[in-house]
Amino acid sequence: MDPSLIVIVVVVAALAFDFTNGFHDTANAMATSIATGALKPKVAVAISAVLNLAGAFLSIEVAKTISGGIVDDTKVTPVIVFAGLVGAIIWNLLTWLFGLPSSSSHALFGGLIGATWIASGADAVHFGSVVSKILIPAVASPLVAGLVAAVGTFLVYKITASVRQDVVGKTFKTAQALSASLVSLAHGTNDAQKTMGVITLTLISSGSLAAGSAPPLWVILTAGTAIAAGTYLGGWRIIQTMGKKITEIQTPQGFAAETSAAVTILASSHLGFALSTTHVCSGGIIGSGVGRKLAEVRWGVAGRMALAWLCTLPAAAVVGAIAAEVSSSGSIGTVLVGVAGVIVALVIYLWSRRNPVTAANVNQSSPAEPVAASA
């Protein structure tokens, strides 16, 4: 396959991943605001889309981590990147189908690691960076966000205990709209960067950019636009899970969860940590449930989410590795991988139409999960 053509194919695949990242992760910013009624569903996703686009221009530290941090860019080819993206996209779509808020970031990392390992060997993967900039933040970030949200929720209810509930509700609806917007902006500074990093890695591996180059302006613009478009589509299945199935959320809880998540994400973006915004926001929601007296956290749902988190990186790595192995046979192999990816995506979409979740029914709870009261 012509080298310039494969670069174009990879860029398109990267933007497709970015699009799935957008609708997969809309819930991170807006699930609690939609659940509490602080924002109407369509308004929420529109605000989130605009702020994701704006956030894409605020930082490139995470993009640098992707383009030269986790794999050796001198041993990566555009075909390898393409194979990794296929693994990430398929996992994103599968978890979206089941309404599981898994990490798009870890799907991307897993796909790239698996494809690179198979194609170029284990020494092409920077395992030290994988541990320090991916795995450690993956464990620490939801715990930090959850702890901050739990303490914040407890303090909010303590401080407002003597205030009329209608006043509290109205005040925190406004505050929650602002905190949700901050999460959307933070999401753009972290998640849009990942696709920028992938495209930059492709351009470096094809010789179009020098090693260590920052993302060009057109890369920043297209990546930001793709994630914004996906965000506006609205990942209603995952919004329903995070907004209604983990815990019943009141506006003070939503504010605490979103604020803790935004602070954690922005700090990590500044440090170049490519953390999972899904892990952070889910941790914040669980923490807000723990922090409110007599609140109920559905630990069964939380457990299934945690299992999906554990499976994401290795599962995407396996798919990426298989795609890389098939693609290594030449142009025909690359075409087969692309066609197979499109077919799988189409099947998943058609399957989702059997039980659609939309803006109209996103706040309708499914049959109740067993719950456990938390202090």
Instruction: Show the 3-state SS of the chain.
Output: CCHHHHHHHHHHHHHHHHHHHHHHHHHHHHHHHHHHCCCCHHHHHHHHHHHHHHHCCCCCHHHHHHHHCCECHHHCCHHHHHHHHHHHHHHHHHHHHCCCCCCHHHHHHHHHHHHHHHHHCHHHECHHHHHHHHHHHHHHHHHHHHHHHHHHHHHHHHHCCCCCHHHHHHHHHHHHHHHHHHHHHHHHHHHHHHHHHHHHHHHHHCCCCCCCCCCCHHHHHHHHHHHHHHHHHCCHHHHHHHHHHCECCCHHHHHHHHHHHHHHHHHHHHHCCCCCHHHHHHHHHHHHHHHCCCCEECHHHHHHHHHHHHHHHHHHHHHHHHHHHHHCCCHHHHHHHHHHHHHHHHHHHHHHCCCCCCCCCCCCCCCCCCCEECC
With respect to residue 367, please indicate whether it lies within any of the assigned structural domains.
no
pLDDT of res. 121: 92
With respect to residue 259, please indicate whether it lies within any of the assigned structural domains.
yes
pLDDT of res. 371: 39
pLDDT of res. 103: 86
Residue showing tokens 């922005």: 266
pLDDT of res. 62: 67
With respect to residue 373, please indicate whether it lies within any of the assigned structural domains.
no
Tens of pLDDT, residues 132-153: 878 888 888 889 889 989 998 9
Cβ contact 96:20 at 8 Å: yes
With respect to residue 220, please indicate whether it lies within any of the assigned structural domains.
yes
Mean pLDDT, consecutive 10-residue segments, the chain of 375 residues? 82 93 82 89 92 83 65 84 93 91 88 92 89 84 89 90 87 90 84 84 84 85 92 87 87 89 80 76 90 83 89 93 91 92 94 90 62 36
With respect to residue 270, please indicate whether it lies within any of the assigned structural domains.
yes
The residue segments making up the domain with residue 136 are 3-359
Tens of pLDDT, residues 328-350: 888 899 999 999 999 999 999 99
pLDDT of res. 1: 62
Number of domains the chain is built from:
1
pLDDT of res. 129: 84
pLDDT of res. 63: 66
Rounded Cα–Cα distance for residues 127 and 272 (Å): 16
With respect to residue 302, please indicate whether it lies within any of the assigned structural domains.
yes
pLDDT of res. 274: 64
pLDDT of res. 65: 62
With respect to residue 372, please indicate whether it lies within any of the assigned structural domains.
no
With respect to residue 365, please indicate whether it lies within any of the assigned structural domains.
no
Q: What is the pTM assigned to this prediction?
A: 0.85
Ramachandran angles phi, psi of 108, nearest 5°: -65, -45
